[in-house]
Amino acid sequence: MSNGVRRVVTGNDAHGRSVIVTDGAAANVKQSPQRPGVVINNLWMTDSMPAKTAGDDAGARLTKLEPAESGTNFRIVEFPPERAYIGMVSEAAARQAFDEMGGGHAIVGSKDASGGAKPRHPFMHRTKTLDYAIVLTGEVVLVLDDSEVTMQAGDVCIQRATNHAWSNRSDRPCRIAFVLIDGDGPAGH
């Protein structure tokens, strides 16, 4: 599915002129055997506000699910169709996939009114962040505790520290851009 994400990073040279610092495929790419075919292209992070506009390649440092305090994470995630495997994913496997990003605590299951033991989606999670999610290609189902909505290319979600999952129930890949912003919401732990 993935043909990579091209990342162009600008900067200033010693004379203050704008220049291209990096132009190439995102190098900080993560995958987990617990979620086959999902590709996380980590593009940039900040760890303060106001954000630093000079310095090293902050995309290479981004390794955690959630941003640092007063920070942001920017990534593009590719979700393949999940029908073939999603029913076999256990809570432990989902937690392991998120643990690989330092976010195992975010897997919280469903908080549905029925009180059922099985979550609406094995990757239901909650972070304390405000997230901007922009569907770039394909379609995806945003799963919440009591409802779900199908989103298509061009649709935007403002996810405000809610319990949720992204489910690709279609027969084609979906690519979503995410900007996670440190927030004051309830964390998954």
Evaluate whether residue 141 is within a structural domain.
yes
- Looking at the whole model, is its pTM more than 0.85? yes
Task: Write the pLDDT tens digit of every residue in 122-165.
Answer: 999 999 999 999 999 999 999 999 999 999 999 999 999 999 99
Residue 118, domain member (yes or no) = yes
Give domain status of residue 49, yes or no: yes
In a domain, 11, yes or no: no
Q: How many residues does the chain have?
A: 189
Beta bridge pairs of residue 179: 74, 132
Note whether residue 81 is domain-resident: yes
C-beta separation of 85 from 168 below 8 A: no
21 lies in some domain: no
pLDDT digit string, tens, across residues 163-178: 999 999 999 999 999 9
Q: What confidence tier does 4 reach under pLDDT thresholds 50, 70, 90?
A: confident
3-state DSSP assignment of residue 173: coil
Unique residue bearing structure tokens 């919401």: 185
> What is d(CA 172, CA 46) in angstroms, rounded to the nearest whole number?
32
**Looking at the domain assignment, is residue 105 inside a domain?**
yes
Q: Is residue 88 part of a domain?
A: yes
Q: Are 106 and 127 in contact (CB under 8 A)?
A: yes
What confidence score (pLDDT) does residue 189 get? 42
Burial (0-12, 13-18, 19+ Cβ within 10 Å), 116: exposed
At 186 the pLDDT is: 75
CB 10 within 8 A of CB 44: no
CATH number of domain containing 79? 2.60.120.10
Domain count, the chain: 1
Residue-number span of the structural domain to which 76 is assigned: 27-181
